[in-house]
Amino acid sequence: DVAAKFLERNGYTVIERNYRSGHQEIDIIARKEGFLCFVEVKTRSEGSMGRPVESVTRSKQQKIIKTTEYYIVRHPSLVEREGLQPRFDCIEVFANSEGRPVAYEYIKNAFTAN
């Protein structure tokens, strides 16, 4: 919820949340300024080691890419007619010891389909 609200406050239109294809999921699909953004949301609590984006492994990226391909096939007008360019982004949510979000980092082009 907090990641979707963060995107909306920053001018994104959220199209889908928790989009599923089989056992795979894309957390948020949003659009802004000619981009169709497939957004992975990762949260870390105070005291956790490493950045949240570091948990988006190459294996996880491949699953997101495959699910994205399925989404585009099912919704071709977004890319073909509207000309939206797919992009893979990540929102890092940093939470305090009580689990409340205290900071966000939005990473555009967090990884590529190559």
pLDDT digits (tens, 9 = 90+) for 74-111: 999 888 888 899 999 999 998 888 888 888 899 999 98
**Residues 38, 44, 48, 52: what is their CA dihedral angle, to the nearest 10 degrees?**
10
pTM over 0.75: yes
Q: Which two tokens stand for residue 82?
A: 């509207």
pLDDT digits (tens, 9 = 90+) for 27-71: 999 999 999 999 999 988 877 777 878 888 899 999 999 999 999
